[in-house]
Amino acid sequence: MSAPTVSLLPGECHLICPALFVAPPGAADLKIRAPALDRLLARADHVEAPSRDPLETLAAAFGLTAAASSTARVRLAGGMPQRSVGDDQSPAMTGALNQAPPVTGPDRDLPSAALSLLADAPERARDGCWFHADPVHLRPDRDRLLLFAGPALAPRVDEADALVAAFNAHFAADGLYLIAVRPDRWYLRVAEQPNLRTCPLYEVVGRDLDACLPNGPDARAWNRWQNEAQMLFYRHPVNQMREAAGRPVISGVWTWGGGVLPTVSGGPALTIADHPLAVGLARASGGAWRGLDALDCAAWRDATGTVLFWDHLWQSVPAGDLDAWRRGLDALDVLVATLLSELAAKRLRRLTIDNGIGDRFTLSRAAQRSFWRRRGTLGDWIVRRSGPDRRP
């Protein structure tokens, strides 16, 4: 379900912190100390938000949802290019695919790739339909195929350039074009927007690949070329050298978040974040942007609403990096303490912290004095939200 859009008033700060209640293995042996977060969580008003996706929560803060972005400027149905040589689809199958109803509304992808590309390579973002195409490693496990990604897999610049060049030469006739704006961040442009729904990479890592494959009328053709790309990469000299050196091979690309660059007409006056989607949303909306390393109280005092996307915890949890998680939590607690001071001094009117997957806590100036409230510490919430159905 998509998150409802959020309108911020002057003096309001919306802090989105994915994986707020998720800890890496080993954290249970630590005594979690986060006094400012404990105070905020104890005294704030808690609501169950409908969103189950951090990036959709972020986009909703700019008035953008998957449903609102479903009016593409390219043809939806039958968007996957059809190959004439070696194609295993009959003419009847191709015709049925082209006539199938498009995946629309909340079942459509949030076009996070085009918006992220607006941050990474703005001169390219308006050119067609884009998908994230992250390099991944596939590993068999009994009767399953598991997918892995992250910094440990990231190729060197020369490796990324070689794999991208091979991909583009092989798929040129199919209208597929791959770019690596960074060695670990790739994007795929397609000639026409395919009619399918994809699964974000962060929901796939470490899971059975078959349970996360794209679905929709164009999924069969889409999955076929991805399998072909796996074979292409498997035989490539880059992977032969990586395997000989004991490094994980790059098995292929995981595509998700497809769409054309949408119009973003709302949003906060100030965005504080490093994540490319947050930066792209700020650029698309015309709002101001600052990185997390340039936090400045004076900036949000004057802003007509501030969105702060804190993804340090989100990055460290999948990697199981307990030290990075601890540092990120300490820095987050310092930030929250500063925001609480701003609230007490009446330079902020309302502070909201949101884990992006269903929990939202809002603290007003008056509620900050509600010392009798006891809704649990951060450690308590981590235990409460540690069920198997609450993925980070």
Each residue's pLDDT tens digit, 106-164: 567 999 999 999 999 999 998 899 999 999 999 988 888 999 998 889 899 999 999 99
Mean pLDDT of 200-224: 91
Tokens of 140: 């068999």
H-helix or E-strand spanning residue 363: strand 359-364
Q: Is the pLDDT of residue 320 over 60?
A: yes
Which residue's structure tokens are 């989105």?
16
pLDDT at 2: 54
- What gap in Å lies between CA 329 and CA 323, rounded to an integer? 10
Phi-psi map region of 357: left, alpha, beta (phi>0 left; psi -120 to 50 alpha): alpha
Q: How many CB atoms lie within 10 A of CB 176?
A: 21
H-helix or E-strand spanning residue 294: none
- What gap in Å lies between CA 208 and CA 205, rounded to an integer? 9
Q: How many CB atoms lie within 10 A of CB 165?
A: 12
Residue pair 377/42 in contact by the 8 Å Cβ criterion: yes
Residues sharing a CB contact under 8 Å with residue 258, sequence separation 6 or more, in sequence order: 109, 111, 113, 129, 130, 131, 132, 190, 193, 194, 196, 198
Instruction: Tell me the CA end-to-end span of the chain in Å, nearest whole number.
Output: 16
Which residue's structure tokens are 């909703």?
60
Tell me the HSE value of 99 on the side-chain side, using a 13 A CA sphere.
6
Q: How many CB atoms lie within 10 A of CB 229?
A: 23
Q: Where are the beta strands (DSSP E) in 243-325?
A: 252-259, 270-272, 288-290, 306-309
Mean pLDDT of 229-236: 95
- What gap in Å lies between CA 315 and CA 367, rounded to an integer? 32
pLDDT mean across residues, the chain: 83
Q: Structural domain boundaries of the chain?
A: 12-64+264-384, 91-259
pLDDT at 369: 61
- What gap in Å lies between CA 282 and CA 314, rounded to an integer? 21
- R_g over Cα of the chain: 22
CA angle, residues 325, 329, 331, in degrees to nearest 5? 120
pLDDT at 391: 46
Pairwise pLDDT comparison (208 vs 333), residue with the higher score = 333
Q: Is the pLDDT of residue 371 over 70?
A: no
pLDDT at 352: 94
What does the pLDDT look like over 61-92, one tens digit per residue? 999 876 555 544 333 323 333 333 333 333 33
Residue pair 371/38 in contact by the 8 Å Cβ criterion: no
pLDDT at 275: 96
What is the pTM (predicted TM-score) of this model? 0.85
Q: Is the pLDDT of residue 356 over 60?
A: yes
Mean pLDDT of 269-287: 95
